Amino acid sequence: MKFLVRLSPDSAGFFTSMLCAIHCSVVPVMVSMGLLSSQTWLHNHVLDWLVIGLGLIIASYSLVGDFIKKHRNYLPLSVVASGFILLLTGMIDHDGWMVIFSVIGGMLVATAHLINYRLVVLTTVKA
């Protein structure tokens, strides 16, 4: 239970984003290879929207909160905005670009959490 208390919003956002990127890249390949049936719950767009919504909530709490309270650096916010734009574009465009946009978007959101974490550590060390 102590692990859940120590889990920072940036860690939760990073892991959620990386799971999203892995999900978006692996599931279509497995479906196309016949390893998963096309009716699998992993290939459900409702699950995709839920994960994107969860990621947006975590990113808003973590990145905007740390921006206001700690570092005032726009880099994590611009990286996460780019990531969510790609994720949303991938969800709207269900053609061949969906996988590419979704994977890159998920990785950008994870990168924004890493950048934010490092900025928070740097500002904490300076203070």
The pTM (predicted TM-score) of the whole model is: 0.80
Classify residue 58: in a domain, yes or no. Answer: yes
Classify residue 47: in a domain, yes or no. Answer: yes
Classify residue 1: in a domain, yes or no. Answer: no
Q: Which residue has the tokens 């889990």?
A: 7
Domain interval for residue 60: 9-126
d(CA 117, CA 4): 18
Mean pLDDT within 59-65: 92
Instruction: Count how many domains the chain has.
Output: 1
> Which of 62 and 26 is assigned the larger pLDDT?
62
Mean pLDDT within 31-38: 63
Classify residue 83: in a domain, yes or no. Answer: yes
> Which of 40 and 59 is assigned the larger pLDDT?
59
Classify residue 85: in a domain, yes or no. Answer: yes
Alpha helices in the chain (DSSP H): 2-6, 9-32, 45-59, 65-66, 75-92, 97-126
Classify residue 113: in a domain, yes or no. Answer: yes
pLDDT at 33: 67
pLDDT at 127: 55
Confirm if 67 and 115 have CB atoms less than 8 A apart: no
Please provide the average confidence, as pLDDT, over all residues in the chain.
82
pLDDT digits (tens, 9 = 90+) for 69-114: 999 999 999 999 999 999 999 888 767 788 889 889 989 999 999 9
